[in-house]
Amino acid sequence: MAKDEALTDAPALAVLELLAQESPPGHFQDLLQRGRRQNLPADQLAELERATQLAMGIHASANQRRQREVVMAALVDTVHDMTTRYDPDTLLKVITSRARRLLGFDMAYISLRRSAGGSYIHSSDGDTTALNVGLVVEERRGLGEMAQDKGAPFWTSDYLNDDRIPHGEGVDEVVRAEGLHAIMAVPIFQGSAPIGALYGADRVVRHFTPDEISVMRSLADFASVALEKARLLDRTRTEIAELESAGFEARGTIARMAYLNEVQSRLIAQVLDGGDLYDIVKAAADALGGALAVGDPQGQILASTGSDAADPAGTEALFKEALTGRAALEARAFRGPSALSENLWATPVTAGAEYLGVVLLKVTQPPGPEAERFFGFVGQAVALLLVVQRSAAVAAGPVRDELFDDLLVAPLRAPRQLMRRASQLGIDPEGSYVVVLARPEGGEHGRAVLWASSYAYRHSGLKTVQGGCVVLLLPGSDASAAARAVSEELAPLLGRPVTVGASGPAVGLASVAKVYQESLRCLDALIALDGAGSAASMGDLGFLGLLLSNDHDVDGFVSSAIGPVLDHDAGGTTGLVRTVEAYFASGSSPTGAAKELHVHPNTVARRLKRIDELLGAGWQKPGRAVEVQLALRLLRARDILRRQRQSHAQAGIPGK
């Protein structure tokens, strides 16, 4: 059947044929126009118009369904995209790209709220300039701010010419540069609070359909959910990283605690085995990674180790300053580790209610909890060691005191037996020793004796009591240093002066009795010279010590008085010894000495200046001057005697 015949016979059937063929809308309009040109009867024309109208409606509905299917498929793809593990920034870019492609916009972008007010453009798709991303939108300016304030979509068919919108200069500039007209903004929420807006824009003037607005709202809702998911995922990753870091720190802490527990066990074993205080301090310093010192109640350092290699003197000075300062008070007050400063810590050494001293720790950074607990244990370990040493000293005291008493008797009774007893007590019979006598002035004898037992034990020596004095036999050769050390520790402990005399060294225990007698004479000399409360050795008494000593060490006295001058002359340079002799012979007159030596006074002045450098500026003062003159006389007398012996030998005269 021809088209015209179908149109004449059955207009509605012709429309159905076009509909079945899914013809475009224009074919329906052509069919209607053809019917009008053929002057169809009124009833047939009406039927054709009605059929065309219905067909156009069916066609539009079908197109709308197909478009919705496409949109739904695109939305499903969008949801799938949003399930991918994007970070928030990447996710926002995905949303803008999807919105533009889904609705065919010329441009799509997203803005986010700023904490300071207003918002900024975070990401954009389809833009042709660099003005959009990063643009700050002033508060209450533009469609996005309106949409966020009202919590609903806002749109315009021609943005720049729409007076309903509160325009902002920056936004208008971007819209003008991009050539945008129709713009829609949909708010993005987080919970019930708006956090930004999703925009769709075209470069033509047009109206947005309800379907487009609905799709944009769906995309904004998806974006909100996806952003929240990304935020939670990001927070979860952060928490996982923090947990991993905490786990790593926990493993490190556990390893550190295990190491400190091991060191703690070693320290206990060392204490119980009678270990040395220095060994305990060194092991603790190595474990704590710092410098460590133990001080007694009087502020004296008993042991120190682990000093800063770059500044050992500075570390030692820091410890001494702390011990004479508030360290002891703060340690006793806190009864545990306490910070004296950022890098200096203290912990008390106590046995019950008795305060035995303090342990100081210098570190580059404050110790952690486990190190702080270990540091407190170090104080307890040191206290235990001191108590053990004191108990051992008290237990062995009678036997050791008896040995020392026997060594002070001259001549020795059963010397071989004495040497054997000494060896059994750990005393070297052939060693070098000094004898120190300490007399407390004004009582406190009992405390001094108790202290002496501990002191002798700590220094591997012996102690006894003779005539109201504490007598110590100490390994070493420097009697002066030993006397000062005893005075510096005992006097603060008693809180009153202590007179200390010393002599030595005694080479071998067989010489101890002789050195003890010299120490007695040294102590008597100090008291006779109104030196009560001071400390000195025979060597410190100068020529008086020479007269009081048993061996009359002339060489030692001469060397101590003018040794540097003798060494200078031995080098073959101008005789300074003759200059000193001439100086004193002329009544300490440089001019008189110059006449005596037949040299210019300036020469004598230069020599005297050189002697000042060698002997010190005080050699001309009365006390030193007497010693220097006596040394010169002894030197001259010895030289005369030597020449006489040589002359007698040459003449065949036997000497005495």
Q: What is the mean pLDDT of residues 556-560?
A: 69
Q: What is residue 545's predicted lDDT score, i.e. its pLDDT?
A: 52
pLDDT tens sequence across 428-469: 889 899 999 998 887 667 888 888 887 887 788 888 888 888
- Could you give phi then psi for residue 476, rounded to 5 degrees? 140, 180
Instruction: Evaluate whether 360 touches 327 at the Cβ level (below 8 Å).
Output: yes
**How far, in Å, are 538, 582, 601 from residue 591 at the CA level?**
37, 10, 6
Average pLDDT across the chain, whole number: 79
pLDDT category of residue 183 using cuts at 50, 70 and 90: very high
Per mean pLDDT, which range of 118-132, 203-217, 228-242, 330-344 is the poorest? 330-344
Task: Using the CB atoms, write b or e for 392-431: b if 16+ within 10 Å.
Answer: ebeeebeebbebbebbbeeebeeeeebbebbeeeebeeeb
> How far apart (Å, rounded) are the C-alpha atoms in residues 194 and 248?
40
pLDDT tens sequence across 480-532: 889 888 888 888 888 888 899 998 888 888 888 888 888 888 887 777 666 78
Q: What is the mean pLDDT of residues 320-342?
A: 70
How are beta strands 535-537 and 498-507 bridged, if at all?
parallel
**Strongest mean pLDDT among 76-90, 467-481, 569-583:** 467-481
Checking if the pLDDT of 397 tops 80, the result is no
Checking if the pLDDT of 3 tops 80, the result is no
Question: Residue 180 gets which letter from DSSP?
Answer: -
Burial (CB < 10 A; 0-12, 13-18, 19+), residue 387, is middle
pLDDT tens sequence across 605-648: 888 888 888 888 778 887 677 777 777 776 675 565 456 456 54
596 or 306: which leads in pLDDT:
596
How are beta strands 354-362 and 344-351 bridged, if at all?
antiparallel
> How far apart (Å, rounded) are the C-alpha atoms in residues 472 and 456?
7
> How far apart (Å, rounded) are the C-alpha atoms in residues 543 and 536?
14
Checking if the pLDDT of 400 tops 60, the result is yes
Checking if the pLDDT of 310 tops 80, the result is no
DSSP letter for each residue of 260-276? HHHHHHHHHHHHHTT--
**Strongest mean pLDDT among 238-242, 332-336, 571-575:** 238-242
Q: What is residue 653's predicted lDDT score, i.e. its pLDDT?
A: 44
Give Cα 260 to chain centroid, integer Å.
19
Burial (CB < 10 A; 0-12, 13-18, 19+), residue 447, is middle
Per mean pLDDT, which range of 323-327, 355-359, 579-583 is the poorest? 323-327
Per mean pLDDT, which range of 259-268, 509-518, 537-546 is the poorest? 537-546
> H helices of 475-575, where?
479-494, 512-528, 543-548, 554-570
Instruction: Evaluate whether 224 touches 148 at the Cβ level (below 8 Å).
Output: no
Q: How many CB atoms lie within 10 A of CB 363?
A: 18
pLDDT tens sequence across 36-87: 787 778 777 787 778 888 878 777 777 666 666 666 666 666 666 666 656 7
Q: What is residue 496's predicted lDDT score, i.e. its pLDDT?
A: 84
Q: What is residue 50's predicted lDDT score, i.e. its pLDDT?
A: 83
Q: From edge to edge, which strands make up the β-sheet containing 498-507?
A: 462-466, 469-475, 432-440, 498-507, 535-537
Q: What is residue 190's predicted lDDT score, i.e. its pLDDT?
A: 82
Q: What is residue 655's predicted lDDT score, i.e. its pLDDT?
A: 44
Instruction: Evaluate whether 62 touches 38 at the Cβ level (below 8 Å).
Output: no
Q: What is residue 15's predicted lDDT score, i.e. its pLDDT?
A: 75
| Model pTM above 0.85 | no
How are beta strands 136-137 and 119-125 bridged, if at all?
antiparallel
Q: What is residue 79's predicted lDDT score, i.e. its pLDDT?
A: 61
Tokens 């342990």 identify what position?
359
